[in-house]
Amino acid sequence: MRIGIPPVILTAYFPSIIYEFRKLNPLANIYVTELGANTIKKQVDSGAIDLGVIIMPFAYQGYKVYPLASSANTLLVHKSHPLADRTEVAFCELAYEDFLILDDTYMLHDKIISNCRNSGFEPNITCQSSQWDFLAEMVSLNQGVTILPLPIVMKFTSQNVKRLKLIEPEFPWDISIIIKKGKYISNLMKSFIKFAREKGKKQSYFYTDKAN
């Protein structure tokens, strides 16, 4: 079974999912490839991978979609930032910020830019990276702001960084598994999808949770 997972999602959700699934299925051959979500769609189409993990919203035509987990995205700012004492921030208030964002292999990249444009401004992107921890470190050095999923941010500990809820629009991080329609779904694939969805529901974080 070949699975394509974006590195950010892999870090947030899948270490325990894959570890526990392997314990239950010790003879299964599972190959995980780290790819950006935009690349994963192409790999699913070509048949290079069997299952893809992507961020919603997603064009359903041509795919079977299995919702996996949902959490909040969060804004990271330096502790000295004028917004640092706030608990929530609207996108329109970020018009003059320097953005540090994941690169364009990630669907989150496109969603951030779209939300900024819908709020009436073009984001000033000063740095793009495929590494979420690098972006968080850059915020801790007061080099700009970044937007990352809350389950990932919870793994980053720094007294120099504050995390804030994003509103107007609300900005959830919805994760799904996709399979190309017409593809044979093996018992192993069915079992993995069921197991991952059950585990994923227990790993969702929003600002009403203890994660805040």
What are the tens digits of pLDDT across the range 70-122?
888 899 999 999 999 999 999 999 999 999 999 888 888 988 999 999 999 99
Distances (CA, A) of 165 to 64, 146, 172: 31, 12, 10
For 104-113, give one letter per residue: b (16+ CB within 10 A) or e.
Answer: ebbbbbebbb
- Return residue ranges of the chain for CATH 3.40.190.10: 2-69+174-201
The yes-or-no verdict on residue 206 having pLDDT over 90 is no
- Return residue ranges of the chain for CATH 3.40.190.290: 71-167
Rg of the chain's alpha carbons, rounded to an integer?
18
Q: Name the fold adopted by 2-69+174-201.
A: D-Maltodextrin-Binding Protein; domain 2 (3.40.190)
By the 8 A CB rule, do 198 and 144 touch? no
For 73-103, the three-class secondary structure string (H helix, E strand, C coil) is: EEEEEECCCCCCCCCEEEHHHHCCCEEEEEC
The pLDDT value recorded for residue 209 is 42
Q: Name the fold adopted by 71-167.
A: D-Maltodextrin-Binding Protein; domain 2 (3.40.190)
The yes-or-no verdict on residue 204 having pLDDT over 80 is no
Confidence of residue 130 (pLDDT cuts 50, 70, 90): confident
The pLDDT value recorded for residue 60 is 64
Instruction: Return the sign of the alpha-carbon dihedral for residues 65, 199, 173, 143.
Output: negative
